[in-house]
Amino acid sequence: MQIKSSVHDYAVEEFGTFAETLTAARTAQPLYLIDRRVHELYPGEFASVPPESCVLIDASEKQKAFENLTPVFLEILRHGMRRDWTLIVIGGGVLQDIGCFIATVLFRGARWELIPTTLLAQADSCIGSKSSINIGPYKNQIGTFYPPHRVLLTDDVLRTLPWDEIRSGLGEVIKLQLLSSRADYAELMTDLATFKGEGATLAKWTRRSLTVKQPYIETDEFDRGVRNLLNYGHTFGHAYESATDFGIPHGVSVILGILTATFVSAQLGLVDAQHYLELKTALAPWHQPYGDVLRAAERERVFAAIRHDKKNTRGVVQCILTRGPGAMEKRAVSLEDELVPAVNTFIDGELS
């Protein structure tokens, strides 16, 4: 798969084993930025990667904060990285965000390659150029657009992914298939009805998800127009994540956010209530029991987060709502009059 970007075009390449992927990523002067957990889980694979070219970091929202990146920059520089070296980033969305941000500004632009190791990163975030970094209490409020020079995909590395991280990745997969069409969404849900973590199913939907995302990021790389639709479920999802101190995995929050956006759409008469009820039943296994975590969150923190979202001004929230599968649209919704009552009803009554 070849992705067009105004920064530079890049390829998404597929490999068999994780070991083969690491071999394929090796460049003349590599500097590896690796998720510490992935490094621990694959000692055999990493045996051939010299420790002096590795920087290991924790995949946490805290580590993704601007104020905590200085030690990472310093460690990379202490390892001797120069402008003509390649940063090889190995991990999930957190490592991708940090690696992309560093590659953008280090030497005013370093070559970088990405080996995504979570379903979320493989099926969604690995294409699209974005880095998003937290600052103080604000999540993802600073960032850049700078795609990797290569993305190297391997299903092999997903075998160690915990079930909640699989569900989190499926949140983005479900979102993308809902954006695509009723038929694609129905096919996905048929596959998920018997899904127990099989690699072949994950591989199929990773590719299908990237194919749905590709035209959005190619026609609107800088997220000024149609790419906004990829935020379906995210205005609410981000608020749920931050109101629970990241107690809900990102993609699971997105599932809860998709349900909220669809509930609001039904309340505003954009979509048949039947569509919402079908989604509610179909998506329950993919978010339970995180509804309880959300219900326990301080409600005012949820609304404060929605109010603080960078897309919102003066009591009006820009939401991606739906008229059904394949039919999302951006709408300005009044926070106090429309959203607060709908979100309260959703959280109190719809999540059991």
Q: Which amino acid is at 304?
A: A
Nearest distance, CB of residue 308 and ligand NAD, angstroms:
16
Per-residue string for binding with ligand NAD, 191-230, x by CB under 6 A? ----------------------------------------
Q: Which amino acid is at 83?
A: R
> What contacts 24+ positions apart, CB below 8 Å, involve 237-240?
237/171, 238/139, 238/140, 238/305, 238/309, 239/302, 239/303, 239/305, 239/306, 239/309, 240/294, 240/297, 240/302
How far is the C-alpha of 87 from the C-alpha of 109, rounded, in Å?
Answer: 11
Quick check: 92 binds ligand NAD (CB under 6 A)? Answer: yes
How far is the C-alpha of 192 from the C-alpha of 285, rounded, in Å?
Answer: 10
Quick check: 148 binds ligand NAD (CB under 6 A)? Answer: no
Sort 187 into a burial class: Cβ within 10 Å, 0-12 / 13-18 / 19+: middle
**Which range in 36-44, 194-202, 219-227, 293-301 contacts ligand NAD by CB under 6 A?**
36-44
In the complex with ligand NAD, the residue whose CB is nearer, 173 or 342, is 173
**Which range in 2-10, 25-33, 87-95, 269-277 contacts ligand NAD by CB under 6 A?**
87-95
Among 37, 182, 280, 301, binds ligand NAD (CB under 6 A): 37
Strand (E) or helix (H) holding 324: none
| Closest C-alpha to 120, from 169, 77, 67 | 169
Residue 122 phi/psi, 5-degree rounding, is -70, -40
In the complex with ligand NAD, the residue whose CB is nearer, 130 or 287, is 130
Per-residue string for binding with ligand NAD, 112-141, x by CB under 6 A? -----xx-xx--xx--x-xxx-------x-
Q: Which of residues 236-255 bind ligand NAD (CB under 6 A)?
A: 250
Place of tokens 């990405």: 114
Quick check: 338 binds ligand NAD (CB under 6 A)? Answer: no
Q: Which of residues 39-68 bind ligand NAD (CB under 6 A)?
A: 41, 59, 61, 64
How far is the C-alpha of 91 from the C-alpha of 42, rounded, in Å?
Answer: 12
In the complex with ligand NAD, the residue whose CB is nearer, 145 or 268, is 145
CB-based contacts of 19: which residues, under 8 Å, 6+ apart? Answer: 44, 45
Place of tokens 């005012």: 300
Quick check: 168 binds ligand NAD (CB under 6 A)? Answer: yes
Q: Which amino acid is at 156?
A: D
DSSP secondary structure string for all residues of 315-341: TEEEEEEESSTT-EEEEEEEIIIIIHH
DSSP secondary structure string for all residues of 198-220: -HHHHHHHHHHHHHHHHHHHHH-
In the complex with ligand NAD, the residue whose CB is nearer, 257 or 267, is 257
How far is the C-alpha of 184 from the C-alpha of 166, rounded, in Å?
Answer: 19
**Which range in 85-93, 190-198, 257-265, 331-339 contacts ligand NAD by CB under 6 A?**
85-93
Nearest distance, CB of residue 269 and ligand NAD, angstroms:
31
Number of residues that bind ligand NAD (CB under 6 A): 31
Nearest distance, CB of residue 42 and ligand NAD, angstroms:
8
Among 3, 22, 38, 106, binds ligand NAD (CB under 6 A): 38
In the complex with ligand NAD, the residue whose CB is nearer, 95 or 266, is 95
Residues near ligand NAD (CB under 6 A) are 35, 37-38, 41, 59, 61, 64, 91-97, 117-118, 120-121, 124-125, 128, 130-132, 140, 157, 160-161, 165, 168, 250
